Amino acid sequence: MNLRITSRHWSLSTVLCLFICAGASTVLAQDTTVARTPPMGWNSWNHFACKVNDQVVRAAADTIVSSGMKAAGYIYVNIDDCWEGKRDDVGIIRANEKFPDMRALADYVHSQGLKLGIYSSPGPKTCAGFEGSFGHEEQDAQTYAGWGIDYLKYDYCSFRGDVAAQIAAYKKMHDALVKTGRPIVFSLCQYGMDRVWAWAPSVGGNLWRTTDDISDDYDRMAYLGFGQKGLERFAGPGHWNDPDMLEVGNGKMTSDEYRTHMSLWCLLAAPLLAGNDLAKMSPETLAILTNSEVVGLDQDSAGIQGRRVAQEGPLEVWVKPLADGSKAVGLFNRGESIMPVTAYFQDVGAGESADVRDLWARKDLGVFKGQFTTQVPKHGVVLVKIK
Ligand code: GLA
C-alpha cells in the first residue's frame, strides 16, 4: 500500500479509453464460468497480514469445513500478500519458506472440497514489498495453474501507469490466466481509481475493489459500504463491485456494527471474504457469517446489487430486488442513539400490503400496509424481506 501511486489526473487518453472500454465491455464482458454469484470464502490479510503461513491456511480450511461455513457457501481459501519467495534462474516464482509446498497445500484445500486463492501485483513489487508479476505474467499464470490455484487477487501496489496502462496490465494477466485453461477467478485490486467499475469487466475482472482498504472500525466500514451508492449498475453475474473484505469477528466493532457490515455487504451483492481468525471465532461471529437467510440475499440468483432508496439524515433504507420478486430491505441507523426507521412500500417496490420477515431474528413479523416502521439501534440495522 505504501508503494502505490495514486493518479487521479484525467488525461485525454484516460477519457478516450474509458469511452472505448465502456463499449468494449459489452463484447469482452467476463463470462460466468466462475463467480456467477459473488465469491465467498476467507482471506488471510485482515487478521494475519504478513503472519500468514501454510499452517494458518490449513487451519482456516479445516475450520471452514468443521464450523459449517463451507455448508453456508464459503469456498475460497485465499492467501493474500507475503507468500512470495524469489524467482529461480529462468524466472519462475517460488513461494517463501512459510509455504514449503504450494501444490501440496492446494491438494489439501481441494481435498476438503474448497478452492485456493493467491495474490500478486501487476507491478514489480507487491504492496508488502515481495515479488510482483511485472514481466512474468505468463510464467506466473502457468505456475499458479500448475499449483492448482483457483483465484487470483491482482493488486496495483508498485505498478506505474495511467488508466490505459492499467487496462493493458490487467488484461495481460487475464489473458495469461485464460491461456492456462484453468478457471481462475480474477480479482482486481486498485482501490477504485479511474472509475475501475466502468472498465474492469472488459479486462476479465470477476470483481474489482471500489475502495481503498477497510479496517475493523465502524466509521471506515460505513464510509466504504454506504459509499457504494450509485455503483449498482456496474455489477451483475460474473462481475461484482468489491468494497473490500469482511472484518466481522476481528473484535473492534459491536455486534450491531458487525450485523450492519454483513447486512450491507449482502444487500450490495459484495464478495463475502471473511477476514477473521476462524480457529478462534465466537459462536456469535459464526452466526453473523453464516445466517443462511442473510447470505442468501448476497447469493440470490438474480445478481442485482442493492441501492439506497431513502435517506433521512443518518437513517437510510436500502433495497435489493430478489429473483422471486420479493425485496430485501435494510433499515439502517448510522446515528448515535436508537431511532425509528420507516421503509415505505412504494419506495421499495412492494405492493400496498405485504408480508415482512426479520432475517436476523428469523421471524415473520406479519402483514403490513403501506409501510414498515421499526426501532433500530445506534449503528445498527433491521434487515427484512418484504413480499
Ligand atoms: C493492499 C490491499 C490489501 C492487501 C495488502 C497486502 O493494501 O488493498 O487488501 O492485499 O495490499 O499488502
What letter does residue 239 receive in the DSSP assignment?
A: B
Q: How far apart are CA 275 and CA 250, in angstroms?
A: 8
- Catalytic site positions: 155, 213
Q: Is the CB of 213 under 6 A from ligand 1?
A: yes
Residues 40-72: b if buried by 16+ CB within 10 A, e if exposed: bbbbbbbbbeeebbbebbeebbbbbeebebbeb
pLDDT at 32 (0 to 100): 64
pLDDT at 31 (0 to 100): 55
Q: How far apart are CA 378 and CA 257, in angstroms?
A: 9
pLDDT at 18 (0 to 100): 45
Q: Which atom from ligand 1 is nearest to the alpha carbon of 49?
A: 6
Q: Is the CB of 247 under 6 A from ligand 1?
A: no
Q: How far apart are CA 309 and CA 149, in angstroms?
A: 40
- Closest CA to ligand 1's atom 8: 213
Please give the distance, rounded to the nearest whole angstrom, from the Cα atom of residue 153 to the centre of ligand 1: 10
pLDDT at 33 (0 to 100): 83
Q: Is the CB of 155 under 6 A from ligand 1?
A: yes
Please list, in sequence order, all residues whose beta carbon lies within 8 angstroms of the beta carbon of residue 362, skipping any fewer than 6 positions away: 291, 293
Please give the distance, rounded to the nearest whole angstrom, from the Cα atom of residue 78 to the centre of ligand 1: 13
Q: What is the mean pLDDT of each run of 10 residues along the chain (387 residues)?
A: 38 43 40 88 98 98 98 98 98 98 98 98 98 98 98 98 97 98 98 98 98 98 98 98 98 98 99 97 98 98 98 98 98 98 98 98 98 98 98
User: Please, are residues 128 and 50 in contact by the beta-carbon 8 Å criterion?
Assistant: yes
The partner residues of 338 in beta bridges, in order of sequence, read: none
pLDDT at 21 (0 to 100): 42
CA 105, 107, 113 angle in degrees (round to 5)?
Answer: 110
Q: Is the CB of 208 under 6 A from ligand 1?
A: no
Q: Could you tell me the three cell numbers for 64?
A: 471452514
Q: Could you tell me the three cell numbers for 247?
A: 472484518
Q: Is the CB of 232 under 6 A from ligand 1?
A: no
Q: Give residue 380's identity as a one-letter amino acid code.
A: G
Pocket test for ligand 1, best of 3, 118, 119, 189 (most atoms within 8 A of CB): 189
CA 288, 369, 386 angle in degrees (round to 5)?
Answer: 30
Q: Which atom from ligand 1 is nearest to the alpha carbon of 212?
A: 8
Residues 28/18/128/206 CA torsion (nearest 10 deg): -30
Q: Is the CB of 81 under 6 A from ligand 1?
A: yes
Q: How far apart are CA 292 and CA 315, in angstroms?
A: 26
Of 270, 261, 266, nearest to 234 by C-alpha is 270
Q: How far apart are CA 253 and CA 236, in angstroms?
A: 30
pLDDT at 6 (0 to 100): 38
